[in-house]
Amino acid sequence: MRVLLLLGLLFPCTTWAQKNVRVDHTPWNTVVSIYVGADGLVDYKGIAADPIFQRYLQVLQRFAPEATWPEVERKAWWINASNAMVVQLVARQLPIDSVGAITLAEQKKVLVVQGTSFTVDELMDHVVGLFGDPRVICALHRASRDSPVLATAAYTADHLDEQLEAAARRFVNHPRRNVIGSEEGRISWLFSHYAAMFPGSDGLRSFLLKYSAIPPAANVRLRTMPRDPGLNAR
């Protein structure tokens, strides 16, 4: 009966066909809507203590996506799962000042997907590399003050494109992550780290032009902001 209940959480549709799979991320949506503030700060203790979050982690570990799933379902699963598991990692290690204070061995002990263990950086690189979509960079939360903020709603297949568009705008225009204006351009270290996602001499600039409320001037040199690894907890 327990297995059937878990399956029901993940696959609310009546069909089991892989092409019609629909992953229910409602538990994660409930959790982040409660424990992530409007300022982007996260109540990691509160999330970890919530039984809804614990049930969601169980579902994620039991039912990881298959290659036959629609890409939007796989992408939503990986973004939500990565964010949820990073939250779990941090909550287990509190009190800490940064994710960097957690040993790599401990990170790999917690961040396990389909038998593969990851550090935080390895998990983020893996998810970004899976889909070749630079907007995913802006949706993955690393629990640091310089990372994209944790969205207050779960990513879902039905709304994924608009959610990723919003994530890109939110990250590019966040004053503590990027400072872009007509006279200067200071950008997150993540854009340098994932430079391959922005091919060509104008790849990154084109991305910023699309999402920045104040586009950088054509001749402005984009400088990388120093990292701020401090924990974004409240």
Tokens coding 142: 């690393």
Q: Is residue 26 part of a domain?
A: yes
Q: Is residue 21 part of a domain?
A: yes
- The total number of structural domains in the chain stands at 1
Whether 157 shows a pLDDT value over 60: the answer reads yes
Among 2-16, 170-184, 189-203, 215-229, name the one with the lowest average pLDDT: 2-16
Q: Is residue 130 part of a domain?
A: yes
What's the pTM value of the predicted model, to 2 decimals?
Answer: 0.88
Angle between the N-to-C axes of helices 2-10 and 51-62, in degrees from 0 to 180, rounded to the nearest 10: 90
Q: What is the total residue count of the chain?
A: 234
Nearest of 79, 104, 76 to residue 89 by alpha carbon: 104
Q: Is residue 234 part of a domain?
A: no
Nearest of 48, 128, 54, 55 to residue 87 by alpha carbon: 48
Q: Is residue 215 part of a domain?
A: no
Q: Is residue 183 part of a domain?
A: no
Q: Is residue 198 part of a domain?
A: no
User: So what's the pLDDT on residue 109?
Assistant: 94
User: So what's the pLDDT on residue 10?
Assistant: 44
Domain that holds residue 74: 2-160
Q: How confident is the model at residue 5 (pLDDT cuts 50, 70, 90)?
A: very low
Q: Is residue 73 part of a domain?
A: yes
